[in-house]
Each structure stands twice: as structure tokens, then as C-alpha cells.
């Protein structure tokens, strides 16, 4: 449904679609927390940053629109924000074997990619769970090991 929503939906229905995904992910995380640790990928910060960048909105406008529902979300203990040199990011996206239309849109429009990165930076700057990790020169396995170790340390401390 994601390609259809991105291509055909107006901004508010698109936002509701992605918010629904975050709410569902929160339900799954809440349930999984009863038996152990949980890792959720691309949570509410992603909804805000992506929607705002794609529709030319500021993050606060999007956050305000979904504010009545955010209390329902399970709060993360850690949010890893991956930072990559813009040229390296564009090259990685071009080399992805499973490119989506969203990927192709970002590759084709450097201003959109810059705007998206800026929106994530704004969110990360005020996120108390933020951990900034620069990916340049690190393999995906090294990044995974680093984040896993960090999450494990947080879990042990809790």
C-alpha cells in the first residue's frame, strides 16, 4: 500500500496511514516487552521527518497534527540517528538493489534529500533518547554491532 499512498493520497490521509503504522508498531512493541527486549525500526520520528520533508511542512506542524495520538506510543529507551556524508548517502541509495519510489525520488531531488536530513537533525536535537552515530567508514555489520552493544548496555542499566 505504501507506493499507492505516496502516489495518490493527499497529505492528511498519507499522514494518518503512516501514523497508523507507528501505532501498530507500538502495540507490537508493547506486547513483545512482556517477554523481553524489543527493537523497533523507523518509529514516530520517521513519520514526522518524512511527512514534513515530503510535503514542505515544518516538523512542528506534523507533530501537532498527530499529538492527540502520541501518548499511545510506547516510548523508546534509545533512538539511534545515523549520520552519513550526503554524497556517500546518495551513492549508497543509488547502489541499493531494492530501491523504492521514495528512494528514487530522493536520488533525483537533492533538495528533498537535504530537507529530509535537516528534518531528522531537528528532531534528533531535541530527542532525549537520541544517540548520534556517524556511519562513514563503517560497514553495516559494524554499525549493527555498535548499536546492539549500546542497546544491551541500556537494557542492563534499566
The domains located in the chain, with CATH, are 2-157 (3.40.50)
Cβ pair 37, 46 in contact under 8 A: no
Residue 41 DSSP code: S
Residue 153 in grid coordinates: 548496555
Of 6, 74, 12, nearest to 43 by C-alpha is 74
Full-model pTM:
0.89
Per residue of the chain (158 residues), give pLDDT as tens.
888 999 999 999 999 999 999 999 999 999 988 888 777 777 899 999 999 999 999 999 999 999 999 999 998 888 999 999 888 888 888 999 999 888 899 999 999 999 999 999 999 999 999 999 999 889 989 999 999 899 888 877 76
Give the 3-state secondary structure of residue 133.
strand
Burial class (CB in 10 A: 0-12, 13-18, 19+), 128: exposed
pLDDT of residue 77: 87
Amino acid at each position: 500500500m505504501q507506493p499507492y499512498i505516496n502516489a495518490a493520497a493527499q497529505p492528511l490521509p498519507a499522514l494518518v496511514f503512516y501514523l497508523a503504522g507507528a501505532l501498530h508498531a507500538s502495540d507490537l512493541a508493547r506486547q513483545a516487552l512482556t517477554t523481553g527486549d524489543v527493537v523497533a525500526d523507523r518509529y514516530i520520528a520517521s513519520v514526522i521527518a518524512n511527512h514534513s520533508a515530503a510535503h514542505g511542512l515544518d516538523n512542528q506542524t506534523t507533530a501537532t497534527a498527530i499529538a492527540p495520538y502520541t501518548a499511545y506510543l510506547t516510548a523508546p529507551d534509545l533512538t539511534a540517528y545515523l549520520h552519513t556524508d550526503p554524497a556517500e548517502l546518495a551513492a549508497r541509495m543509488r547502489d541499493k538493489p531494492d530501491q523504492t519510489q521514495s528512494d528514487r525520488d530522493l536520488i533525483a531531488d537533492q533538495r528533498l534529500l537535504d530537507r529530509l536530513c535537516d528534518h531528522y537533525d531537528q528532531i534528533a536535537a531535541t530527542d532525549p533518547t537520541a544517540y548520534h552515530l556517524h556511519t562513514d567508514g563503517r560497514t553495516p555489520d559494524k554499525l549493527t554491532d555498535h548499536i546492539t552493544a549500546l542497546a544491551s548496555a541500556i537494557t542492563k542499566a534499566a
